[in-house]
Chain A
């Protein structure tokens, strides 16, 4: 599970954990996070980028700034696993159905 490894790696850093926990209390901008934590704004931005790539947070523009929040869909490791599971399953179903359609055509 590569995404699980990414999530764990992203949270292995104590500053990123602090940022992630802070976002657990509600959405926040880079500036707000930098005020509450002993970290510069560029460093906060960098950590957020890593968290975002790991699928743990998402961001959306709000006026001139970006607001970050925990990504409930991205955090659902199990959900993502099921997502892949159904993709593979429905592809197999489709292959089976289309094979049946071809059989029927050939029988004509």
Chain B
């Protein structure tokens, strides 16, 4: 019997002290101000200057480096301010953009008194390209490939 490894979705929740529309705006238009800029996926290795989310369905989600070069992270699938944002995360386990990979990051903004509850779900993680495939192969192919896949992920 082989077993398909299907990681459960990641679910996160935070409460913030700004109203719903403001929380949506800070999350999207203000992403450059809070996004952790330690993880550039830009092949030029330029430090991240901005992280931009184009405010429409079909818009791009991308980083712009200090050198002006741009590198996609994914795209906007649904743009429903102030309540909901659905992004396509198209970054592989090797930290590279892959236009054929689509995992979903859904962010919901719910009013809570004077503040907002923000819930994030990152799902379809089994699609994470080589990594998920390598995991499956590891189970079907024995432990050598498992260790290799672990080593690749750690590299």
Residues on A facing B (Cβ under 8 Å) = 1, 4, 7-8, 11, 17, 20-21, 24-26, 70, 72-73, 75-79, 82-83, 85-98, 100-102, 104
Residues on B facing A (Cβ under 8 Å) = 1-3, 5-8, 10, 12, 14-18, 22-23, 26-27, 30, 33-36, 39, 93, 115-116, 118, 120, 122, 125, 128, 131, 135, 139, 142-143, 146-147, 150-151, 153-154
- Cβ 8 A contact of A91, one of B7, B14, B33, B39: B14
| A101 vs B36: C-alpha distance when bound (angstroms) | 21
| A101 vs B3: C-alpha distance when bound (angstroms) | 48
Say whether B27 contacts A101, CB under 8 Å.
Answer: no
Say whether A82 contacts B18, CB under 8 Å.
Answer: no
| A8 vs B115: C-alpha distance when bound (angstroms) | 44
**CB-defined A-B contacts under 8 Å, sample of 9:** A4-B154, A11-B147, A24-B3, A78-B125, A78-B131, A92-B34, A97-B22, A101-B16, A101-B17
Say whether A83 contacts B10, CB under 8 Å.
Answer: yes
Please judge, given known A-B contacts A96-B26, A98-B16, whether A90 and B120 are in contact too, CB under 8 Å. Answer: yes
